[in-house]
Structure 1
Amino acid sequence: MLDQLLVHQVRRRVESSELPLSVEFWDGQKVGRTPAAVRVRLREARSLRAIANPSLGALARAYVEGQLDLEGDVHDILALGDRLCSAGDHKAESGVERWKWWRHTRSRDRRNIQYHYDVSNDFYGLWLDARRVYSCAYFRSPDMDLDAAQEAKLEHICRKLDLRPGERFLDIGCGWGGLLLHAAERHGVQGVGITLSDDQHRHVSDLIARSGLADRVEVRKMDYRDVPEHGGYDKIASVGMFEHVGRVNLVTYFDKINALLRPGGLVLNHGITAAAPGSAGLGSGIAEFINDYVFPGGELVHVSDVFRAAADSGLECLDAENLRPHYGKTLWHWVNRLEQHADVARRLIGEQKYRIWRIYMAGSAHAFECGWMELWQLLAGKAERGSQPNYPFTRDFMYGTR
């Protein structure tokens, strides 16, 4: 009886809407427009709930669990899902959830990182650029390809840090080693990268051995809280990592960075933030879906919280840049590349994980384009005893030639 009521509710919703949508039920019955830009195939009765009373998170769950199929261009799917769920009306949950301390213990953080990153190096290699940079690219021109835009991002970070030959450089959350090796090869630093991912650690170790840089670069499987060289680094970068830190640990995180920096040193923190002040995460069930399927333990805070935590730790904020449109463009590149290699991806990681990454990255691209999330690069410095960070008076060193 309940199923029939939900079928009726779905029919009424689809027929009364002006959306370019068709829905096919598990018994072959269809409702909606023909042709339709987006076609939903319901595979079982329990998928009715995701359509009858939809949220973006519920639709994503049903898709990932194989309860329904989504056919059509992924741009159209996300745009239609947004309209169907009126997601823009509740894009962020209000209030700040105070997560318990145990959510970010060393062992839990290690498991969370390995869940997301130790999927398959070959899988990530299908759709990332040649250096496997898994963070927002920097498009100096609209027609720049992904590989060039990621090289531009790495150089943009190195210029902001004003890296110099012989400086000690720490890359927190070094990923597959793109920034670490770029900084060593192009700017002559003595580099250390840290990661909690087994796959990434093996990959970067192999890259260092093949590059002939073992005398100047090393990679460690290590939590950022356990890096021992206090006062040992001239420059530090953290790219796409601090989303894993947790709101309650932000000051601990910046305290550690401050302790690792030499007086006058610089840190660049590159990470995703919530667009809404006081946000507890994206609404419409998105935050819960991401936590359950993609980034367990991940949290987004507003950029003002990042500024405050850095300042509370004694770091002076020197420069900030929002790269929000760059990340939307980056993610669409990744989605397109993933879809082009869909068959290989499915063989490597299976149908469900393929669906997770496809809908997660497309949904994230849509969220950046809609302004629900932002990507901030925050440059800060360590000043002690009336001195100031080693930071030029103008930004010419970032954007000029040298």
Structure 2
Amino acid sequence: MTDIAPTIASLFPDGLPLRLTAYDGSSAGPEDSPYTIELTSPRALSYLLTAPGDLGLGRAYVAGDIALHGAHPGNPYGPFSLLKDHTDFGIPRPSQVIELVRALGLRNLVPPAPPPQEHLPAWRHRLEGLRAVTQWSRHSQERDADAIHHHYDVSNAFYEYVLGPSMTYTCAVFPTEDATLEEAQENKYDLICRKLDLQPGQRLLDVGCGWGGMVRHAAKHYGVKALGVTLSRNQAEWATQEIKRQGLDDLAEVRFSDYRDVPEGDFDAVSSIGLTEHIGVANYPAYFGSLRDKLKPQGRLLNHCITRDDSTKSPKAGAFIDRYVFPDGELIGSGTIVREVENAGLEVQHHENIRIHYAKTLQGWSENLVENWDACVAETSEGTARVWGLYMVGSRIAFERNEIQLHHVLATKTDENGVSGYPLRPGFGV
């Protein structure tokens, strides 16, 4: 078996954008590239060949069979900004398969077991134990809980290292270019509170509340009685302790619960910050209908979620994101969000894109991961830390290139007389 790197390079129709070296001593790609990807073992080759595109590359990287030179594994922004959109070389032509077998050996075309960080794909969910279809149908409560557990119940300490003191895992809003990540997260929560026009004594429901940042901010700064719900037990336990530590337990509460199981109603406001991505597009009517039913007349809903740049693309995430980061996650254009909110009987009052803020947020998280790399690896594993490094820079690049966006949609439960409670001009600034 010889000349591994040139053979792999031949699969890239536009050529390799950086340097590639392999364990057989071969190399390919521009010699002056500041970044080099090294295939350190035959397993790396097998991953690339048996799952072409981002999944095979991700598997090899997470397993440690690919080494990066010129970039930190916690923030591989440079090399992956060059590789992005160049990894989908698809299924080799028959002539290429013959060439690969001759050059690389038949055994490298046998799929290795994926790294342990990989979540079960959908088809394995359906086959596993022949469980009841209703139990494991896409976005059933049981399956949603499983998907949330996979991503969010990693380790609270790990998230503290990556997210910083705010423990906020959603897009920040930077008031200035030089604002810190913590200042931007505080500013985001305050903006949402102002969009919802929260007043002392009102009641807020925050669905998919994470570690309770919105709940605590609304209670502390706006005197609101706030209830947050999350499907992550780790998040709920951490949030409850932090609420008590800050002396907010008379106003704030976080429950380990599905939003569909909240018995209370007549809330003045509902916030959904980063939950819609987990709902599934087919479930939007039921989702927004449920949130509408939780509101009192003239109440407000703020939906904050990642969206695609248009609604014609498939909502399904890429293979790496689906299996390693957000199982069953789906994204769609903001127009679809607006339509479904309106179809649920709510009146959309304001619609805002804050895409570039998420690129800056992800940059901050990547810097935190690099700064706390050893502690993050010790808390979880190097494979898990590599998943995060790769996923965050990939997402950052996608936001920078306008492939995905982040939208706020503000709506009111306008009453039967057409009274919305919304002022002539919004008071939160635009």
TM-score normalised per structure 2: 0.83
The answer to whether the 8 A contact 2:352-2:409 is kept is yes
**1:336 positional shift:** 1.3
Cα deviation, 1:319-339, whole Å, max 9, x if unaligned, reads 010010000111011111101
The answer to whether the 8 A contact 2:5-2:20 is kept is no
Instruction: Say if 1:69 and 1:331 are closer, same or farther in 2 by CA, change over 3 A.
Output: same
Distance 1:245 1:11 in 2: 39
Give 1:93's aligned residue. none
Distance 2:69 2:150 in 1: 28
**What is the alpha-carbon root mean square deviation over aligned residues?**
2.4
Match of residue 70, structure 1, among 68, 82, 85: 68
3-state DSSP of counterpart to 2:138:
helix
Match of residue 336, structure 2, among 283, 293, 305: 305
Match of residue 417, structure 2, among 380, 386, 390: 386
Q: Which amino acid aligns with 2:193?
A: C
Q: Does 1:398 align with 2:428?
A: yes
Match of residue 144, structure 1, among 155, 173, 179: 179
**1:56 positional shift:** 3.3
The answer to whether the 8 A contact 2:5-2:26 is kept is no
Q: Which amino acid aligns with 2:276?
A: F
Instruction: Say if 1:27 and 1:199 are closer, same or farther in 2 by CA, change over 3 A.
Output: same
3-state DSSP of counterpart to 2:84:
helix
Match of residue 234, structure 1, among 242, 248, 268: 268
The answer to whether the 8 A contact 1:205-1:218 is kept is yes
**1:382 positional shift:** 0.3
Cα deviation, 1:22-61, whole Å, max 9, x if unaligned, reads 2221234333444531111102234336667963343223
The answer to whether the 8 A contact 2:5-2:21 is kept is no
**1:8 positional shift:** 4.1
The answer to whether the 8 A contact 2:80-2:394 is kept is yes
The answer to whether the 8 A contact 2:5-2:28 is kept is no
Q: Which amino acid aligns with 1:319?
A: H
Instruction: Say if 1:265 and 1:354 are closer, same or farther in 2 by CA, change over 3 A.
Output: same
The answer to whether the 8 A contact 1:264-1:387 is kept is no
Q: Which moved more, 1:238-247 or 1:272-281?
A: 272-281
Match of residue 233, structure 2, among 187, 194, 198: 198
**1:15 positional shift:** 12
3-state DSSP of counterpart to 1:237:
strand
3-state DSSP of counterpart to 1:194:
strand
1:244-323 pair list within 5 angstroms? 244-281=278-315, 287-323=318-354
1:7-156 pair list within 5 angstroms? 7-10=5-8, 12=10, 17=15, 19=17, 21-48=18-45, 55-73=53-71, 74-82=76-84, 84-85=86-87, 102-156=137-191
The answer to whether the 8 A contact 1:201-1:220 is kept is yes
Distance 1:54 1:279 in 2: 21
3-state DSSP of counterpart to 1:300:
coil
Cα deviation, 1:127-146, whole Å, max 9, x if unaligned, reads 21311111001011111110
The answer to whether the 8 A contact 2:173-2:357 is kept is yes
Q: Identify unmatched segments of 5+ residues in structure 2.
A: 90-125, 127-132
Cα deviation, 1:205-239, whole Å, max 9, x if unaligned, reads 10121222222111111111111123x20011010
TM-score normalised per structure 1: 0.88
3-state DSSP of counterpart to 1:259:
helix
Instruction: Say if 1:108 and 1:13 are closer, same or farther in 2 by CA, change over 3 A.
Output: closer
Distance 2:2 2:27 in 1: 15
**1:70 positional shift:** 2.5
Instruction: Say if 1:233 and 1:341 are closer, same or farther in 2 by CA, change over 3 A.
Output: same
Q: Which amino acid aligns with 1:233?
A: F
Distance 1:13 1:55 in 2: 11
3-state DSSP of counterpart to 1:314:
coil
Distance 2:410 2:173 in 1: 16
The answer to whether the 8 A contact 2:274-2:305 is kept is yes
Distance 2:424 2:395 in 1: 36
Instruction: Say if 1:277 and 1:337 are closer, same or farther in 2 by CA, change over 3 A.
Output: same
Q: Which amino acid aligns with 2:86?
A: L
**1:298 positional shift:** 1.0
